[in-house]
Amino acid sequence: MDFQLTDRQKELMDAAKGAYERKLAPLVADTSVEGVRRLRRAMAEQGLLGLNLPPEHGGLGLPLLDTLLVIQTLQACAPIVGGLCHRTSTGAIGAVAEYGTPDQRARFVEPLCRGEIGISIGITEPEAGSAATALKTRARIEGDHVVLNGSKQFVSFVNINEFTLVYCRFGTSGKASDIGAVIVPHDAPGFRHSSGTLNMADELLFELYFDDCRVPKENVLLDGGAFGKLISVYNAERLGSMARMLGSARASYEYALAYSKERRQFGREICDFQGIQWMLADMRVKLDAAHLLVMRAASTAQVTGLPAPLETSIAKVFTAKAAKEICDDAIQVLGANGYTKEYPLAHRYAEVRGGSIYGGTMQIHKNMIAAAILERENSQWKKA
């Protein structure tokens, strides 16, 4: 067990930060669709997409742990860059890399690593939030096509990306065993999306509608019996989100630390006061503990190829809470300045707040932890 970062890992993080400062920082202000796609291509040129995807398909083949370190570094630089790195490394594309046919890997993984396309993920529905296995979106094979009917909500990046990996039901048993996934192009006939709703971190979330949406059968990733397989890959996406929370929390901590050494009250720097010192100490303790839990969960992937569910849920519960508390304390150190939008901490708090909800709520993850330690069934379904 080694708790230190290797020289190679430090180099990777420094290189990512350097690439951000030299090539990407000038591009982040343009938040138009074309601007974000330009940024995505620039990140591909810097080798910052598809970090843990297979090298034979254009990825960098980094271990999950190293991938998370880079996501964390980029998130601290700018959330849009951390988000793009996350979505193209541990996002929906992970399922295509893991379960896709050679043709699907060539059509999706390779162009994604070149920054030419992006893939959103559609799981949640109006009546299937935490109870994701209750999803109703139906898929049926008709000749050379798969036809989808239903809807999704809270899907991000739909305006930027060209495809969504849609979890859908192939069978009619109503059970988790019916569930598979289809890669739906956003120009497919019968596909529509809403204009988007802003979340508190100013990110657009979209509703998707499938009305006899026809997609070539070659885009079926898994045609049922696959919920467990899909959610096993999704655990890596959950860790990617945690790396983003860590990046935002670290940036907030560092900002508050620097501020406390400059801001003077009562004729001294405010870091001289024990009230401030204890907040800084608390922030650092939580940051280090969350970091170690996320790295432990990621390191389980070196054994199975995918992160272990229990360690992932433990990391999620701790990190989501710690990140909120770190950002909250950072705001407190800045006082009224921290509460305004003139300073970056209010936005940082908004960035991490979603982490207790998306990717499975903290409460759902506590259910999973309890089920594992008690060796009981996790399912919350009411028994007949």
Ligand X SMILES: CC(C)(COP(=O)(O)OP(=O)(O)OC[C@H]1O[C@@H](n2cnc3c(N)ncnc32)[C@H](O)[C@@H]1OP(=O)(O)O)[C@@H](O)C(=O)NCCC(=O)NCCSC(=O)CCS(=O)O
Instruction: Say which amino acid occupies 229.
Output: K
For the chain, what's the residue count? 384
Return the SS3 of 7.
helix
Specify the amino acid at residue 259: Y
User: Minimum distance from CB of 226 to ligand X (Å)?
Assistant: 9
Among 121, 242, 246, 330, binds ligand X (CB under 6 A): 121
The residue count for binding ligand X (CB under 6 A) is: 26
246 vs 72: CA distance, rounded Å:
6
Three-class secondary structure of residue 245 per DSSP: helix
Single out the segment in contact with ligand X by CB under 6 A; choices: 35-43, 60-68, 322-330, 353-361: 353-361
Which of 115, 309, 338, 355 binds ligand X (CB under 6 A)? It is 309
Q: Any contact of residue 156 with ligand X (CB under 6 A)?
A: yes
- The burial of 243, by beta-carbon neighbours within 10 Å (0-12 exposed, 13-18 middle, 19 or more buried), is given as buried
Q: Let me know if 149 is exposed, middle or buried by CB neighbors in 10 A (0-12, 13-18, 19+).
A: middle
The answer to whether 278 contacts ligand X (rule: CB under 6 A) is no
Residues facing residue 145 across a β-bridge: 142, 216
- The binder of ligand X chosen from 52, 73, 88, 120 (CB under 6 A): 120
Taking the alpha carbons at both ends of the chain, their separation in whole angstroms is: 47
Q: What is the dihedral of CA 342, 346, 351, 354, to 10 degrees?
A: -150
Q: Candidates 14-22, 51-59, 107-115, 117-125 — which segment interacts with ligand X by CB under 6 A?
A: 117-125
154 near ligand X, rule: CB under 6 A: yes
The answer to the question of residue 146 lying near ligand X (CB under 6 A) is no
Q: Which of residues 317-346 bind ligand X (CB under 6 A)?
A: none
Site string for ligand X, 26-65 (x = CB under 6 A): ----------------------------------------
89/64 Cα distance (integer angstroms): 9
Q: Which is closer to ligand X, CB of 115 or CB of 309?
A: 309
CB of 78 to ligand X, least distance (A): 19
Three-state DSSP class for residue 242:
helix
| Smallest gap from residue 81 Cβ to ligand X (A) | 17
Find the shortest distance in angstroms from Cβ 97 to ligand X.
17
Compute the least distance from the CB of residue 356 to ligand X, in Å: 12
Using the rule CB under 6 A, is 358 a contact of ligand X?
Answer: yes
Please, how many CA atoms are within 13 Å of residue 164, restricted to the half-sphere of its CB? 30
Structure tokens at 47: 């080798």
- Please state, in angstroms and rounded to a whole number, the distance separating the CA atoms of residues 105 and 100: 6
Comparison of 75 and 124: residue with beta carbon closer to ligand X:
124
Candidate ranges 22-30, 116-124, 256-264, 286-294; the one touching ligand X (CB under 6 A): 116-124
Considering beta carbons, is residue 157 or 349 the nearer one to ligand X?
157
Task: Name the burial class of residue 382, with classes exposed (0-12), middle (13-18) and buried (19+) by CB atoms within 10 angstroms of its CB.
Answer: exposed
Contact between 88 and ligand X per CB under 6 A: no
Q: Write out the binding residues for ligand X, residues 225-254 only, by CB under 6 A.
A: 227-228, 231-232, 235
Q: Tell me how far, at minimum, the Cβ of 369 lies from ligand X, in Å.
A: 10
DSSP 70-86: HHHHHHHH-HHHHHHHH
Footprint on this chain of ligand X (rule: CB under 6 A): 120-121, 123-124, 130, 132-133, 154-156, 176, 227-228, 231-232, 235, 309, 358-360, 364, 368, 378-381
